[in-house]
C-alpha cells in the first residue's frame, strides 16, 4: 500500500491508499517541534488504532512546503517503514507531463494539484485550494502551468484579525444570511466569509477573461466545504486532490 504525505504550513495530511481507494487519512498539526520530536510515536499509534500494519506500506511519497520538515519526515519513513520515499520537487519534475516554468518557486502541493487536474480533464483548468493560503493555479490544455495567484487563506485571515485586535472574539467560520452585521460575531462573519466569496468569484472571472471561458474549475483544501455559496462555480470539489496527485507521482 501507498503512504502519501502532504505537509502544509498548518497541517500534515497522511493518506493510505490500496491502489484504488484512500483507506485512511490522518491529520497532525505541522509544527516542527511536534513532527520532529514524537512523530514516529504518533504515527505508530494511529496505525494501531486503525488496525493497520506498518509492514503493509510498500511505497511512500512526500510533498512538503515546509523546508525544515523534509529531512525529519524522510528519515521517519526510512526508519519506520524501511523504504526510501519519493520526494516531490524539481529533481523529479522532468518525469511529469507538465511544463513548470519556475520549478524552484512553485509549491509542490500546487504541482500535485495541477498534475491531477491536467490528467483528468485534459483542458484548461483552474484549481482553487482553500488552505493556509488561498491559491488559484491555472493550467493550460497542454499541461503548462500558466501561473498561480495567492491570497491569505480564510483561517489565516481570521487568525490575523483576532491576533491584531484586542476586543474581537474568535468566531465560527459560518456564512451569515445577511452581509450587514447586527453584532460583533455577525459582523466578523459577514465581512470575512462574504468577502472571501466575493474574492473567489472575482478571481475566477478575471482568470477566465485572460485564458478563456472554457475552463474547468475544481476546488480542494480543508476549507473548500465552508463556502457552499461558491459550489455552483466548481466542476469538482474534492479535499483529496493533492493526495490524488501524490498517488499519480508515486505510480510514474
Closest CA to 14 of 252, 248, 247: 247
Q: Looking at the chain, how many residues does it have?
A: 252
pLDDT in tens, 28-74: 877 654 555 567 788 888 888 888 899 999 999 999 998 888 888 89
Closest CA to 102 of 62, 148, 64, 152: 148
Residue-wise DSSP of 167-206: SPPP------S-SS-SSHHHHHHHHHHHHHHHHHHHHHHH
Q: Of the ranges 70-74, 99-103, 154-158, 164-168, which one carries the lowest mean pLDDT score? A: 164-168
What is the C-alpha separation between 86 and 137, in angstroms, rounded? Answer: 23
Task: Find out whether 63 and 96 touch, Cβ atoms under 8 Å.
Answer: no
Catalytic residues: 109
- Measured CA to CA in angstroms, residue 62 lies from 75, 123, 128, 200 at distances of 12, 27, 21, 29
Identify the residue with better confidence: 136 or 186: 136
Per-residue model confidence (pLDDT) at position 184: 83
Question: Which pTM does this prediction carry?
Answer: 0.90
What is the C-alpha separation between 12 and 155, in angstroms, rounded? Answer: 16
What is the C-alpha separation between 138 and 62, in angstroms, rounded? Answer: 23
pLDDT in tens, 124-152: 999 999 988 999 999 999 999 999 999 99
Per-residue model confidence (pLDDT) at position 163: 65
Q: State which H helix or E strand residue 29 sits in.
A: strand 22-29
Please provide the distance, in angstroms rounded to a whole number, between the alpha carbons at the two ends of the chain.
Answer: 15
Positive/negative CA dihedral, 125, 93, 33, 78: positive
Amino acid at each position: 500500500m501507498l503512504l502519501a504525505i502532504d505537509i502544509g504550513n498548518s497541517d500534515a495530511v497522511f493518506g493510505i491508499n490500496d491502489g484504488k481507494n484512500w483507506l485512511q487519512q490522518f491529520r497532525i498539526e505541522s509544527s516542527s517541534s511536534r513532527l520532529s520530536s514524537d512523530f514516529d510515536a504518533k504515527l505508530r499509534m494511529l496505525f494501531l488504532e486503525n488496525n493497520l500494519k506498518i509492514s503493509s506500506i510498500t511505497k511512500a511519497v512526500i510533498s512538503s512546503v515546509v523546508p525544515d520538515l523534509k529531512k525529519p519526515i524522510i528519515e521517519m519513513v526510512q526508519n519506520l517503514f524501511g523504504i526510501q520515499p519519493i520526494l516531490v520537487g524539481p529533481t523529479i519534475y522532468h518525469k511529469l507531463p507538465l511544463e513548470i516554468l519556475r520549478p524552484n518557486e512553485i509549491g509542490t502541493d500546487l504541482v500535485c494539484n495541477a498534475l491531477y487536474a491536467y490528467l483528468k480533464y485534459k483542458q484548461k483548468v483552474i484549481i482553487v485550494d482553500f488552505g493556509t493560503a488561498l491559491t488559484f493555479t491555472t493550467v493550460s490544455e497542454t499541461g503548462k502551468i500558466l501561473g498561480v495567484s495567492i491570497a491569505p487563506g480564510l483561517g489565516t485571515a481570521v487568525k490575523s484579525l483576532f491576533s491584531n485586535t484586542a476586543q474581537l472574539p474568535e468566531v465560527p467560520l459560518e456564512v451569515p444570511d445577511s452581509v450587514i452585521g447586527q453584532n460583533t460575531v455577525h459582523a466578523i462573519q459577514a465581512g470575512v466569509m462574504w468577502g472571501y466569496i466575493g474574492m473567489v468569484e472575482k478571481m475566477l472571472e478575471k482568470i477566465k477573461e485572460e485564458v478563456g471561458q472554457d475552463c474547468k474549475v475544481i476546488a480542494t483544501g480543508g476549507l473548500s466545504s465552508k463556502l457552499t455559496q461558491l459550489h455552483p462555480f466548481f466542476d469538482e470539489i474534492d479535499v483529496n486532490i493533492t493526495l490524488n496527485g501524490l498517488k499519480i507521482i508515486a505510480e510514474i
